[in-house]
Amino acid sequence: MRTAFQRDRDRIIHSRAFRRLQHKTQVLAAFEGDHFRSRMIHSLEVAQMARGVATALHLNPDLAEAVALAHDLGHPPFGHMGEERLNHLMTGHGGFRHNAQGARIVDVLEDRYGHGFGLNLTLATRCSLLKGKIPEGFPLSDDLLDEPRVRRRHRLPIEALIVDRCDKIAYLCHDLDDGMRAGMVRRDEARELTLWQQARDRTGTDDPSRVLSEMISILIHDLVAETDQALARADADAPPRAEQGSACAAATAEMLEFLRANFYRAERVMVAMRQGCDRIEATFDALRAEPAGLPERHRERLEHEPLERILCDYIAGMTDRFLLQQSLPPSSGPR
Ligand code: MG
Q: Measured in angstroms, how far is the CA atom of residue 77 from the centroid of ligand 1?
A: 14
Helices (H), the chain: 4-13, 16-20, 39-56, 61-70, 79-89, 98-104, 123-128, 142-146, 149-154, 158-181, 187-190, 194-203, 208-233, 246-259, 267-289, 296-299, 307-317, 320-325
Digit-coded pLDDT (tens) for 47-87 = 999 999 999 999 999 999 999 999 999 999 998 999 999 99
- Ion ligand 1 contact residues with beta carbon within 5 A: 72, 167
Q: What is the mean pLDDT of residues 228-252?
A: 91
Cα–Cα distance for residue pair 200/98, rounded to 1 Å: 36
Kindly tell me if the per-residue pLDDT of 255 is higher than 90.
Answer: yes
**Distance from residue 331's CA to the centre of ligand 1 (Å):** 36
CB crowding 279-302: b at 16 or more within 10 Å, else e:
bbbbbbbbbeeeeebbeeebeeee
Tens of pLDDT, residue by residue over 274-319, are: 999 999 999 999 999 999 999 998 999 999 999 999 999 999 999 9
**Distance between Cα 43 and ligand 1 center (Å):** 6
- Whether the Cβ atoms of residue 178 and residue 266 lie closer than 8 Å to each other: no
User: Residue 152: its pLDDT value, please?
Assistant: 55
Say yes or no to pLDDT of 331 above 60. Answer: no
Give me ligand 1 centre to Cα 150, in Å: 24
Measured between alpha carbons, how far is 180 from 190 in angstroms, rounded to an integer? 9
Compute the distance from residue 210 Cα to the ligand 1 centre, in Å: 23
> Do 245 and 191 contact (CB within 8 A), yes or no?
no
Ligand 1 centroid from CA 39, angstroms: 7
Dihedral angle, C-alpha 105, 116, 301, 313, nearest 10 °: 0
Tell me what pLDDT residue 3 has. 95
Q: How far is the CA of 304 from the centre of ligand 1 (A)?
A: 33
CA of 45 to the centre of ligand 1 (A): 10
Q: Average model confidence (pLDDT) for the chain?
A: 91
pLDDT for residue 30: 53
The neighbouring-strand residues paired with 38 are: 25
How far away, in angstroms, is 229 Cα from ligand 1 center? 25
Q: How close is the Cα of 136 to the center of ligand 1, in Å?
A: 23
CA of 249 to the centre of ligand 1 (A): 18
57 alpha carbon – ligand 1 mean position (Å): 22
